[in-house]
Amino acid sequence: MAEHREFFYRRLHSLLGVVPIGLFMVQHLVINHFAVYGEESFNRAAGFMAGLPFVLLLEIFVIYLPILFHAILGVYIVFVARNNTRTYGFFRNWMFRLQRITGIVTLVFIAWHVWETRVQIGLGNADLDYSLMEGILTNPFMFWFYVIGVVSAVFHFANGLWSFLVSWGITQSPKSQKIATYAVIVVFFAVSYLGVRTLIQFAYGV
């Protein structure tokens, strides 16, 4: 592996973005969506996740380390691109650019989000329950910060899924790539709906 280190890291980057990070994100938003069915059911769902066996190990190896690796290499990938949508305003080139923008936005959002929730719970300053999120999201500024963060993360995931299919050589023909584009658009709207619907529930109780 030593001689092809860069290749290996880039493939790992692509893989981690989908498994486990992407899957975790979808799962996270599905669990949170239980808030829409009432405070009680959110607390039960979140409590179930927090009560999984080996939860700290799961968090470290399925969430923190993969995200850290994806983020560090990702920032480097953003840095080496010279965006040129002004001259070459093609759809995919815009997706390329947005993938980089949403990556950075998502990174800032996740850092803040983890600090405000998981870290505070870990330090014993907060409890994992409905009212924690309600307290954060009733502030309109934070509400919009979360909306932007969640939509960016979902975009980055959906478009990343498209790139994943190309990077792993699954979609090769232009036709299959086009169908994949439609498929990830559906993923984007469906998962965004889950996320934003939950935020509205916490912020406005509806």
Partner 1 sequence: MAEQSTVTFIITRQGGPDSTPYEETFEIPYRKNMNVISGLMEIRQNPVNAKGEKSTPVMWDMNCLEEVCGACSMVINGTARQSCAALVDQLEQPIRLEPMSTFPVIRDLIVDRDRMFDALKQVKAWIPIDGTHDLGPGPRMPEKKRQWAYELSKCMTCGVCLEACPNVNDKSNFIGPAAISQARLFNAHPTGEMNQSDRLNGLMEDGGIDGCGNSQNCVQVCPKGIPLTTSIAAMNRATNIQAFKNFFGSDNAH
Comparing CB distances to partner 1, the nearer of 87 and 125 is 87
**Within 10 Å of residue 20's Cβ, how many Cβ atoms?**
18
- Tokens representing 175 are 């036709």
183 is a site residue for partner 1 (CB under 8 A): no
SS3 52: coil
Please, what's the largest Cα pairwise distance for the chain? 56
* Cβ burial 51-76 (10 Å sphere, 16+ → b, else e): eeeeeeeebeebbeebbeebbeebee
28 is a site residue for partner 1 (CB under 8 A): no
- Tokens representing 101 are 């923008």
* 162-181 footprint of partner 1 as x/- string (CB under 8 A): xx--xxxxxxxxx--x----
* 89-128 footprint of partner 1 as x/- string (CB under 8 A): -x-xx-xxx-x-----------------------------
139 is a site residue for partner 1 (CB under 8 A): no
- Chain residues that interact with partner 1, rule: CB under 8 A: 1, 3-11, 77, 79-84, 87-88, 90, 92-93, 95-97, 99, 162-163, 166-174, 177
